[in-house]
């Protein structure tokens, strides 16, 4: 007895069960190093082997595959790339096991359409959205620009694990990984059985070609440097590079025009990363007028909010139009990446448009239960928003 009251045991058990039920955020998945890839030159920036996390499917999902590509920005020159070799953004030496949740979760009530699929998270250690391929390695820096080789090596390993028998497959990713899911979408489709249902899903990866607050083309110049540094041009979709300069083919708006594979675009119209780095980057805001606004959209002045509404309009114009195979969920949140965390993917208070959650929208689109092209009203109309970044 506790405190002399027999009923306290029952109270304690109820409390314990409640705590257990709350611990549903995710499950730990070990790291797999692809040692065989090293001989192919498919390595991280520092020359270490690439890596991924794999949770096998079960039940009706044993022949279904969800491949998720990790995000983490890009490096555009030797100095930036060298800095990454000291952490998991450029070296597998610093990688550990990860917890899977959200779209990678394994509980039916929290991830009803994908819970029992084979689930893979590809670690991102090349800084080029898996597009680089330069043979030469400068001994002074020992940098390996081999993102495209990493992509191919991991695909080979997954196909040998059973992905070559996939009945359903979804290539997804967040941020730079969301961009990668667009850039590699058609080639992913081509690897899988002809009769398989194969689609792609970009979360916070729809970066737009826009000028910043000072009128400069900061992001265009940056992407041009990334493509040059990593030798990415030959690994970008030829359907785009045959029509545009290679650096423009880092912008989804130019790639999706000729994609063959169905795509779902999940993005905040006021994407926090894009506002901070494309629209109002610090070098273009020397007086730090945008500093507080970038940290918290609620602290934006009326003139800043008006400017953000202009950015939203530009973002919406960059989206593909009149394409029935394209699904969309464009909410009016100030956030970045919404599919990997349970609270934003599917929960009692997750973001919704017309009372539809992100998980329901993606599932309905993937299985063809309904056409989903949800575009939210302008900020601050949506009270369900989680205005924060989840990397």
Active site amino acids? 175, 271, 336
Residue 158 contacts residue 187 (beta carbons within 8 Å): no
Calculate the CA dihedral of residues 42, 48, 49, 50 and round it to 10 degrees: -80
Burial 138-166 (b: 16+ CB within 10 A, else e): eeeeebbbbbbbbbbbbbbbbeeeebeeb
* Distance, CA of 190 to CA of 185 (rounded, Å): 9
Q: How many CA atoms lie less than 13 Å away from 234 in the CB half-sphere?
A: 10
Closest CA to 88 of 55, 120, 44: 44
Read off the tokens for 86. 């000291």
For residues 120 and 173, the answer to whether their CB atoms sit within 8 Å is: no
Longest Cα–Cα distance in the chain: 80
Q: How many CB atoms lie within 10 A of CB 37?
A: 22
> What is d(CA 57, CA 183) in angstroms, rounded to the nearest whole number?
26
Give the three-class secondary structure for 111.
coil
* Burial track 179-212 (b if 16+ CB lie within 10 A, e otherwise): bbbbbbbbbbbebbeeebebbbbbbbbbbbbbeb
Q: What DSSP letter does each residue of 137-206 carry, written as one string? A: --TTT-----HHHHHHHHHHHHHHTTGGG-SEEEEEEETHHHHHHHHTHHHHHHHS-TTSEEEEEEES--
The strand pairing partners of 198, in sequence order, are: 169
Q: How far apart are CA 74 and CA 203, in angstroms?
A: 16
């Amino acid at each position: 007895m506790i405190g002399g009251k027999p009923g306290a045991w029952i109270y304690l058990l109820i409390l314990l069960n409640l705590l257990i039920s709350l611990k549903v955020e995710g499950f730990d998945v070990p790291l797999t190093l692809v040692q065989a890839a090293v001989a192919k030159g498919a390595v991280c920036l520092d020359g270490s082997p690439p890596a991924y996390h794999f949770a096998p499917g079960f039940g009706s999902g044993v022949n279904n595959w969800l491949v998720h590509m990790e995000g983490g920005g890009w490096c555009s020159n030797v100095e930036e790339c060298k800095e990454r070799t000291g952490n998991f953004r450029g070296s597998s030496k610093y990688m550990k096991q990860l917890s899977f949740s959200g779209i990678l979760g394994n509980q039916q009530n929290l991830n009803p359409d994908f819970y029992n699929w084979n689930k893979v998270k590809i670690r991102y250690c090349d800084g080029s959205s898996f597009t680089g391929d330069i043979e030469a390695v400068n001994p002074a820096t020992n940098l390996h620009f081999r993102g495209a080789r990493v992509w191919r090596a991991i695909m080979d390993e997954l196909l040998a694990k059973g992905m070559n028998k996939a009945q359903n497959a979804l290539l997804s990713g967040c941020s730079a990984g969301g961009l990668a899911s667009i850039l590699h979408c058609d080639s992913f489709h081509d690897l899988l059985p002809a009769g398989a249902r194969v689609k792609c899903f970009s979360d916070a990866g729809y970066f737009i070609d826009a000028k910043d607050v000072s009128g400069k083309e900061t992001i265009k110049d940056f992407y041009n440097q990334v493509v040059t540094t990593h030798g990415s041009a030959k690994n970008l979709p030829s359907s785009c590079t045959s029509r545009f300069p290679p650096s423009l083919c880092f912008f989804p708006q130019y790639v999706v025009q000729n994609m063959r594979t169905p795509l779902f675009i999940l993005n905040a119209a006021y994407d926090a990363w894009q506002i901070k780095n494309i629209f109002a980057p610090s070098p273009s805001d020397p007086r730090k007028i945008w500093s507080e606004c970038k940290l918290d959209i609620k602290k934006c002045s009326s003139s800043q909010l008006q400017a953000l509404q202009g950015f939203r309009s530009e973002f919406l114009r960059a989206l593909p139009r009149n394409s029935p195979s394209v699904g969309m969920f464009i909410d009016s949140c100030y956030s970045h990446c919404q599919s990997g965390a349970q609270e934003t993917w599917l929960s009692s208070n997750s973001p919704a448009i017309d009372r539809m959650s992100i998980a329901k929208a993606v599932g309905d689109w993937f299985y063809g239960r309904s056409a989903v092209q949800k575009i939210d009203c302008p900020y601050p109309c949506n009270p369900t928003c989680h205005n924060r970044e989840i990397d």
